[in-house]
Each structure stands twice: as structure tokens, then as C-alpha cells.
């Protein structure tokens, strides 16, 4: 063996490692986090470095020491000794350095105390910690994700409430000497502006209120829950003029932008790792072996399952590698067969999707055409009516349940590697779930803008059936959300718990083979992302929807936690925590971007209803922005027009492309440096000069 053991080995290879870009960025990160360090010591290349590290600070003599004692990997007695040395060194420092050290120390102490205080305020901190201990970090990341959504919805609710609902309520009730004005819209046919919300008149049965609560009709329609309440063109709070239409629109953009920024901020960590995709494959084995054991596990049963899952994971990866080799050795005939099979299966998938979309379309059209409020108010027609109202939600839920089963059945024939199979099925399920909402909205719009008569064309939308169409869309979103919540509750109560009961008390073979259910993270995540997409789309039409979403997710947390603890067994095939975080946020981002599309179309293309809402006097909801800009001083107007013109947009686009290409080139250059350094490291081992240095 060329190398001598212990301390003498350290010098040359480690210097090359220090030049690697990843090491530099780790150093930078450490410097940002460390604070008091002024000199960076190189990591020595041996394990017996207690003595070496201890000698380190002393060797630097009168200069400031390298790191605070607690960051050194030595025993407590050693750390105490080093700290005393450091403090002794401080005594010999002159000038303002001692003051700087002590003030930074006390500052750190104060910051630590503040951080501790904030950690107490963290919602569900103890619950999530106990879940982590029993079920591992993969499932814990699902619950952290749920907590994130609760907070996000709460912030969106606060935003909408304070900007839109509160001023409306204040001005409608005349508090603080405020008032509001309803400017009759000019140049609009009078028939478009007729709007009589059919509330409950006279004596009604109690169940009518219940029915209204579930379907968003009746008394709910006139409340601030829906768009129709905000029929205010300007509000005056004492002497301040409050432009409610503009505030409504800007609040919408604000909550979309806030969601986007927050999600991107959270996903930056995971994205950085996954961006350089080949790096991830490059060290997947090391990742699994060195970071494989979940130190949070305290339960021996969970540990046993973790052992099995690790074994399974390692064996699967090794098998996949052998499979890749086999695929590379495929003959032309086999390749043709497989590709044609894949095309056929993709056609079948496409057919299944079209089937889902068409059935949703027909269900929505049927529901809209037939669910009119009956005059007789008897319980039978009302229940049928309620069922009809919920028909689109039920069809969507059915489609969301059946389609993934079909996909996971079909993908077995496509002969992909197991990891790719999982990813492709997941992507298909995501697409189905989110596209279903899009199809529902599309069918609603086709109903709303269906115009046969000239009078109808004058309004731009079907004014007879939908005098206040935004409220109608808001009602659909409200129903979707309520139904989603009911389904989650029902599945937990009527499927999970009976299954657990059966498995524990009935010992017949088929039941035992079925077994307890696993906590399927992808399915659960898709469920809540679906609910969140509905919330994002629906908030424009129903400003109080985020409050309902917050309460819904709050209750779902406890439902899922109870279901997990009492009825689930941990998954045999785990998803890793890091990639699961990235996956959750990616799916959420896809949901958000999919929510932009219907909102964009309804704000900019579909004429706003003239009978209700803050946008009565405008053509479309977006028209309030150009209107406001016209009220700005001419200089500012010209600037804004300039920004929106092509003369600005095209150079801006080109500059953005150039910057992107620069970063791609930089990443490529870094990769080349890494390769070169690796080669040099191998050669250095046999470099005669270095060998003599070592032995001297």
C-alpha cells in the first residue's frame, strides 16, 4: 500500500477535492451559516484526526481560531479544552476584536432563544414529530405538505378578506361613516342587468337550509361567499375612495403570485438536486447506502419494515441495472414489437382519457339543464335535485378512481423499467385529475356562452339561465370542494376502518391476503392537490372559499393521522423524503399553472355579467386595468404602454434567452472542470513528486 496511515496521508488529494465546485459551494454555505469563522480549515483525510484538529487552532497562534468548539468532531472534554484555549487567545487580542467576539456570541444566543420560541408556535410540531418517529420521513413529508397548504390557504383567505370582503361589508352596512355606489352600467341592454336571486321566500322546511348549504344555492347565494354579493362599483370609507373592482382583480393576481412564489421558494432545495439529473443517477447507490437508514425510527416493527424495504430497494436497483444492460442488447425485431405495443397502449390511454372527459362533459350539461329549483318544494324532487347538482362531482370522483387502476394495469405491458413505470403512471394520474377540472369548467362555459337569440348575443352570455354566471361557477367549485371533503371522510369511515376490523377479526385467506392498506403517498398527495387546484380556481368566483379550504385541510390532517395510526401498515416500497418533497411541490406547481388557464380565460375573454358583481360596467373583468391606467398621468401611461409594446417585449425576451444560455454554458464548464479534476486525482496517486512529499 502506497499510503502511510493516519495524519501523514492528508495533503495532496484533499487539495484537489477543495477545488471541486461542489466543495466550494458547501464552504460558502458553511460560511453563511457559521458566522464567526474567519479561517477555513481543510477537512483532513483521516479518521484519527482528533489530535490533528486539536492542534489546528493552536497552530494559528495569535490569529482568530477556525471554528466554534461545538462544530468540531471531538469529545466533550476536548471541546471544553479547545474553548478555553480560544478564550485564552481572545485575551491576547487587542482592539475591538474581543468585543466583536462576545457581542457575536450573545447575539447568537439571543437568536437561538428566538428560534426556540418560534418553534413552539409551529403548528402540529409534536404530531408531525411523532409520525416521523413511527412511520419515517417519507410519510412525514406528506403531513408537512398538508400543514403548508393549511397555512397557504389561511394567508390567501386573509388577503382576500381584508382587501375585498371587509371593505364591502363595511360599506354595505355603513360602518365608520362609509357608503357605496352602484353606478348603472352605460351602453348595456337593460335585460342583461335584471337579476333576482331566488332566495327562500316564506316558510320553508328546515331541510331546505341543509340542501342550500350543500349546493350553495338559496340563502347562501346572496351571502359574501359568492361573487354576486360584491355588486359595488366604488366604496367610500369616510372620504377615501376605494376602487373595489380594481382591488378585486389585483387581489386575485396577488394570491396567485403569492402561491407561485411560495411554492417555488419551497421547491428550490429539491430542485437544485434534481436539476442536474445525471448527478442524481450518478450517486444513487451511495445515496441509498450512506443515507439509507432513517435514524428517526424508534419502533422495532417499523425498523424491520425499513430493513425489508431497503433490501427491496437495493435489489430492485441492481436488477434494474441488469435490465438496462438487457435492453441495450435488444434486437431490432424485439424493439419494433415493443414500440408498436407502446403506441397501441398510448392510444388506449388516450381513448380512456377521452372517455372520461366526454362523460364529464355530458354529466355537466345534463346537470345544468335539469337542475332547476322546483316549485313544489317536496322532499323527493329536492333530493333528486340535489343529486343532479352533485352529478358532475360524482362523475369526476368516479373517473379519478377508475382511470388510475386502468393505467397501472396497462403499463405492465409496456415493458419499462420499474422506476420509469411508477413515474409514468403517476404523471398520467396527475394529468387525469387536473384535466377533469378543466373539462368541467369548459362544459360550464359552453353552457354559459351558448347564445341562440340576438338578445342573448347582446349580453355576451346566456342571461336568462345565468344572470350572474360567476356565482354559478363559484357554486360548482364550492360543490366540488364539499363533495371532495365528504368523499375523504366517507372513505376513511366506511372503507378503512371496516377493513381494519375485518383483517384483525377474520382470519380467512382472501381477507388476510388483502391485508391492511398501505398509506399510498402519491394517491393522497394527488387528492389534496386536486382540492387545492379547485380552491385556486374558485377563489376568484367565491372569495371566502380559502377559509373553507383551510378548515377542510385542518380537519383532513386529523382524519389522515388517525387513519394512518390505526388502519395502515407502512409501505413496502418507500418513496424517499427528498424526492417526495420535490414531487409534491412539482404536482402542486402543475396544479397552479393549470389553474391559471381557466382563470385567465374567464378574466380576459368571457364578458363579465352585467347584473351582479364589481365588473358590471366593464366589458370583461380585465377591462378595469386599462381603464385605471387611463386615469394615470400621461408620463406614467406612456411608460406602461411602452412596457406592454413589442418594442420592449422582444429585446427583453432575447436578453432572458441569452442569460439562460449563459447559465447552461456555465454548468457545462463546471462539469468539464469536475471531470478534469477527477482524472487528475487518479493520476496524482502515482505522481513521484507527491510520493516523495508524503514520505518526507
Residues 243-282 that bind other proteins (CB under 8 A): 269-270, 273, 279, 282
- Considering only the stretches 158-166, 174-182, 447-455, 574-582, report the one whose residues sit in contact with other proteins under the rule CB under 8 A: 574-582
Instruction: Name which position in 32, 61, 62, 70 contacts other proteins (CB under 8 A).
Output: 70
Q: Which of residues 670-689 bind other proteins (CB under 8 A)?
A: 678, 681-682, 684-685
Q: How far apart are CB 553 and other proteins at their closest, in Å?
A: 23
Taking residues 299 to 338 in sequence order and writing x for each that binds other proteins by CB under 8 A, - otherwise, the string is: xx-xxx--xx-xx--xx--x--x-----------------
- Considering only the stretches 127-135, 388-396, 527-535, 550-558, report the one whose residues sit in contact with other proteins under the rule CB under 8 A: 127-135
Residue 46 binds other proteins (CB under 8 A): yes
Q: Which of residues 613-642 bind other proteins (CB under 8 A)?
A: none
Choose among 611, 624, 609, 617: nearest CA to 470: 609
Q: How far apart are CB 29 and other proteins at their closest, in Å?
A: 9
Residue 81 binds other proteins (CB under 8 A): no
Cell of 190: 337593460
Q: Residue 306 or 433: which CB sits closer to other proteins?
A: 306
Q: How far apart are CB 317 and other proteins at their closest, in Å?
A: 8
Instruction: Name which position in 8, 103, 112, 453 contacts other proteins (CB under 8 A).
Output: 112
Q: Do 561 and 127 touch, CB atoms closer than 8 A?
A: yes
Q: What is the dihedral of CA 464, 470, 475, 481, to 10 degrees?
A: 150
Q: How far apart are CB 132 and other proteins at their closest, in Å?
A: 7
Q: Residue 269 or 334: which CB sits closer to other proteins?
A: 269
Instruction: Name which position in 47, 239, 375, 689 contacts other proteins (CB under 8 A).
Output: 47
- Provide the b/e sequence for 359-380 (b: ≥16 CB within 10 Å): bbbebbbebbeebeeeeeeeee
Tell me the C-alpha to C-alpha distance, in Å, between residue 335 and each of 33, 159, 320, 322, 413. Answer: 53, 56, 18, 18, 14
Q: Do 421 and 342 touch, CB atoms closer than 8 A?
A: no
Residue 610 binds other proteins (CB under 8 A): no
Q: How far apart are CB 278 and other proteins at their closest, in Å?
A: 12
Instruction: Name which position in 116, 329, 454, 646 contacts other proteins (CB under 8 A).
Output: 116
Q: Which of residues 517-556 bind other proteins (CB under 8 A)?
A: none
Residue 107 binds other proteins (CB under 8 A): no
Percentage helix, strand, coil for the chain under 3-state DSSP, each rounded to 5: 75, 0, 25
Q: Residue 111 or 597: which CB sits closer to other proteins?
A: 111
**Strand pairing class (517-518; 240-242):** unpaired
Instruction: Name which position in 30, 172, 499, 561 contacts other proteins (CB under 8 A).
Output: 30
Instruction: Name which position in 56, 137, 570, 610 contacts other proteins (CB under 8 A).
Output: 137
How many Å apart are CA 538 and CA 535, to the nearest integer?
5
Q: Residue 5 or 642: which CB sits closer to other proteins?
A: 5
Q: Around Cβ 452, how many Cβ atoms within 10 Å?
A: 8
Q: How far apart are CB 273 and other proteins at their closest, in Å?
A: 4
Q: How far apart are CB 416 and other proteins at their closest, in Å?
A: 21
Q: How far apart are CB 554 and other proteins at their closest, in Å?
A: 25
Q: Which of residues 393-432 bind other proteins (CB under 8 A)?
A: none
Measured in whole angstroms, the distance separating CA 422 from the mean position of its chain's CA atoms is 20
Residue 144 binds other proteins (CB under 8 A): no
Instruction: Name which position in 69, 225, 249, 426 contacts other proteins (CB under 8 A).
Output: 69
Q: Do 345 and 413 touch, CB atoms closer than 8 A?
A: yes
Residue 43 binds other proteins (CB under 8 A): yes
Q: Do 625 and 615 touch, CB atoms closer than 8 A?
A: no
CA atoms within 13 A on the CB side of 209: 5
How many Å apart are CA 249 and CA 621, to the nearest integer?
8
Q: Around Cβ 594, how many Cβ atoms within 10 Å?
A: 19
Measured in whole angstroms, the distance separating CA 250 from the mean position of its chain's CA atoms is 23
Instruction: Name which position in 76, 239, 240, 375 contacts other proteins (CB under 8 A).
Output: 76
Residue 290 binds other proteins (CB under 8 A): yes
> Which residue has cell 377479526?
505
How many Å apart are CA 551 and CA 532, to the nearest integer?
12
DSSP collapsed to 3 states, 571-623: CCCCCCHHHHHHHHHHHHHHHHHHHHHHHHHHHHCCECCCCCCCCCCCCEHHH
Choose among 252, 247, 234: nearest CA to 171: 234
Q: Residue 59 or 112: which CB sits closer to other proteins?
A: 112
Q: Around Cβ 547, how many Cβ atoms within 10 Å?
A: 18
Q: Residue 294 or 382: which CB sits closer to other proteins?
A: 294
Q: Do 473 and 539 touch, CB atoms closer than 8 A?
A: no
Q: How far apart are CB 274 and other proteins at their closest, in Å?
A: 8
Q: Which of residues 173-202 bind other proteins (CB under 8 A)?
A: none
Q: Residue 44 or 191: which CB sits closer to other proteins?
A: 44
Q: How far apart are CB 507 and other proteins at their closest, in Å?
A: 25
- Considering only the stretches 166-174, 294-302, 403-411, 624-632, report the one whose residues sit in contact with other proteins under the rule CB under 8 A: 294-302
How many Å apart are CA 674 and CA 489, to the nearest integer?
53
Q: Residue 26 or 261: which CB sits closer to other proteins?
A: 26
Q: How far apart are CB 50 and other proteins at their closest, in Å?
A: 10
Q: Residue 128 or 426: which CB sits closer to other proteins?
A: 128
Instruction: Name which position in 247, 256, 297, 430 contacts other proteins (CB under 8 A).
Output: 297
> Which residue has cell 380585465?
622
- Considering only the stretches 39-47, 177-185, 210-218, 224-232, report the one whose residues sit in contact with other proteins under the rule CB under 8 A: 39-47
Q: Do 492 and 559 touch, CB atoms closer than 8 A?
A: yes
Secondary structure (3-state) at 453: coil
Q: Residue 303 or 664: which CB sits closer to other proteins?
A: 303
How many positions of this chain bind other proteins (CB under 8 A)? 81
DSSP collapsed to 3 states, 49-98: CHHHHHHHHHHCCCCCCCCCHHHCCCCHHHHHHHHHHHHHHHHCCCCCHH
Q: Do 219 and 200 touch, CB atoms closer than 8 A?
A: yes
Q: Residue 148 or 219: which CB sits closer to other proteins?
A: 148
**Strand pairing class (568-569; 234-237):** unpaired
Residue 577 binds other proteins (CB under 8 A): yes
Residue 287 binds other proteins (CB under 8 A): yes
Q: How far apart are CB 292 and other proteins at their closest, in Å?
A: 5
Question: What does the DSSP 8-state code read for residue 197?
Answer: -
Q: Residue 30 or 670: which CB sits closer to other proteins?
A: 30
Residue 283 binds other proteins (CB under 8 A): yes
Amino acid at each position: 500500500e502506497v499510503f502511510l496511515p493516519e495524519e501523514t496521508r492528508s495533503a495532496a488529494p484533499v487539495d484537489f477535492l477543495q477545488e471541486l465546485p461542489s466543495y466550494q459551494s458547501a464552504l460558502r454555505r458553511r460560511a453563511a451559516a457559521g458566522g464567526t469563522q474567519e479561517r477555513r480549515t481543510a477537512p483532513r483525510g483521516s479518521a484519527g484526526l482528533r489530535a490533528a484538529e486539536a492542534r489546528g487552532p493552536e497552530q494559528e497562534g495569535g490569529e482568530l481560531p477556525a471554528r466554534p468548539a461545538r462544530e468540531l468532531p471531538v469529545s466533550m472534554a476536548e471541546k471544553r479544552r479547545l474553548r478555553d484555549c480560544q478564550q485564552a487567545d481572545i485575551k491576547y487580542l487587542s482592539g475591538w476584536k474581543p468585543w466583536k467576539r462576545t457581542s457575536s456570541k450573545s447575539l447568537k444566543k439571543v437568536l437561538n432563544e428566538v428560534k426556540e420560541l418560534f418553534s413552539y408556535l409551529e403548528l402540529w410540531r409534536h404530531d408531525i414529530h411523532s409520525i416521523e418517529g413511527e412511520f419515517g420521513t417519507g410519510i412525514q413529508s406528506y403531513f408537512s405538505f398538508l400543514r403548508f397548504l393549511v397555512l397557504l390557504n389561511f394567508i390567501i383567505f386573509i388577503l382576500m378578506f381584508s382587501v375585498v370582503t371587509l371593505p364591502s361589508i363595511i360599506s354595505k352596512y355603513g360602518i365608520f361613516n362609509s357608503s357605496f355606489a352602484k353606478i348603472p352600467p352605460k351602453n348595456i341592454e337593460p335585460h342583461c342587468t335584471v337579476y333576482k336571486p331566488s332566495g327562500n321566500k316564506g316558510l320553508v322546511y328546515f331541510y331546505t337550509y341543509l340542501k342550500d348549504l350543500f349546493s350553495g344555492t338559496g340563502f347562501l347565494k346572496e351571502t359574501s361567499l359568492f361573487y354576486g354579493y360584491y355588486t359595488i362599483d366604488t366604496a367610500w370609507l369616510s372620504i377615501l375612495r376605494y376602487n373595489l373592482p380594481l382591488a378585486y382583480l389585483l387581489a386575485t393576481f396577488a394570491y396567485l403570485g403569492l402561491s407561485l412564489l411560495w411554492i417555488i421558494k419551497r421547491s428550490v432545495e429539491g430542485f437544485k438536486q434534481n436539476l442536474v439529473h445525471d448527478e442524481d443517477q450518478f450517486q444513487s447507490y451511495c445515496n441509498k447506502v450512506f443515507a439509507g437508514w432513517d435514524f428517526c425510527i424508534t419502533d422495532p416493527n417499523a425498523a424491520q419494515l425499513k430493513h425489508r424495504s431497503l433490501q427491496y430497494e437495493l435489489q430492485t436497483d441492481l436488477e434494474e441495472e441488469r435490465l438496462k444492460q438487457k435492453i441495450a442488447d435488444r434486437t431490432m425485431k424485439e424493439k419494433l414489437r415493443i414500440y408498436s405495443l407502446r403506441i397501441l397502449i398510448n392510444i388506449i390511454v388516450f381513448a380512456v382519457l377521452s372517455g372520461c372527459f366526454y362523460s364529464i362533459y355530458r354529466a355537466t350539461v345534463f346537470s345544468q339543464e335539469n337542475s332547476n329549483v322546483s316549485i313544489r318544494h317536496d322532499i323527493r324532487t329536492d333530493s333528486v335535485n340535489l343529486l343532479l347538482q352533485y352529478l358532475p362531482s360524482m362523475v369526476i370522483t368516479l373517473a379519478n378512481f377508475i382511470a388510475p387502476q386502468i393505467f397501472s394495469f396497462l403499463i405492465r405491458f409496456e415493458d419499462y423499467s420499474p422506476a420509469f413505470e411508477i413515474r409514468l403512471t403517476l404523471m398520467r394520474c396527475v394529468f387525469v385529475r387536473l384535466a377533469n377540472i378543466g373539462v368541467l369548467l369548459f362544459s360550464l362555459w359552453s353552457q354559459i356562452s351558448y347564445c341562440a337569440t340576438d338578445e342573448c348575443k347582446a349580453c355576451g352570455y346566456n342571461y336568462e339561465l345565468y344572470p350572474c354566471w360567476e356565482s354559478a361557477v363559484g357554486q360548482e367549485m364550492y360543490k366540488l370542494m364539499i363533495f371532495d371533503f365528504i368523499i375523504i371522510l366517507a372513505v376513511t369511515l366506511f372503507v378503512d376502518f371496516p377493513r381494519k376490523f375485518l383483517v384483525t377479526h377474520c382470519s380467512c385467506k382472501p381477507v388476510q391476503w388483502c391485508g391492511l392498506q398501505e398509506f399510498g403517498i402519491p394517491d393522497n398527495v394527488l387528492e389534496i392537490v386536486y382540492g387545492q387546484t379547485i380552491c385556486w380556481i374558485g377563489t376568484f368566483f367565491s372569495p371566502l372559499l380559502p377559509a373553507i379550504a383551510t378548515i377542510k385541510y385542518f380537519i383532513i390532517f386529523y382524519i389522515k393521522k388517525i387513519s394512518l395510526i390505526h388502519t395502515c401498515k407502512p409501505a413496502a416500497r418507500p418513496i424517499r423524503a427528498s424526492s417526495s418533497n420535490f414531487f409534491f411541490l412539482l404536482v402542486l406547481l402543475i396544479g397552479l399553472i393549470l389553474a391559471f388557464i381557466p382563470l385567465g380565460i374567464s378574466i380576459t375573454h368571457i364578458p363579465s355579467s352585467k347584473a351582479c358583481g364589481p365588473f358590471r360596467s366593464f366589458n370583461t373583468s380585465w377591462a378595469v386595468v386599462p381603464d385605471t391606467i387611463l386615469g394615470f398621468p400621461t408620463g406614467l401611461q406612456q411608460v406602461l404602454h411602452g412596457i406592454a409594446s413589442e418594442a420592449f417585449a422582444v429585446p427583453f425576451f432575447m436578453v432572458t434567452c441569452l442569460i439562460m444560455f449563459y447559465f447552461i454554458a456555465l454548468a457545462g464548464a463546471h462539469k468539464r472542470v469536475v471531470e478534469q479534476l477527477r482524472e487528475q486525482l487518479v493520476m496524482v496517486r502515482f505522481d513521484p513528486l507527491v510520493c516523495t512529499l508524503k514520505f518526507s
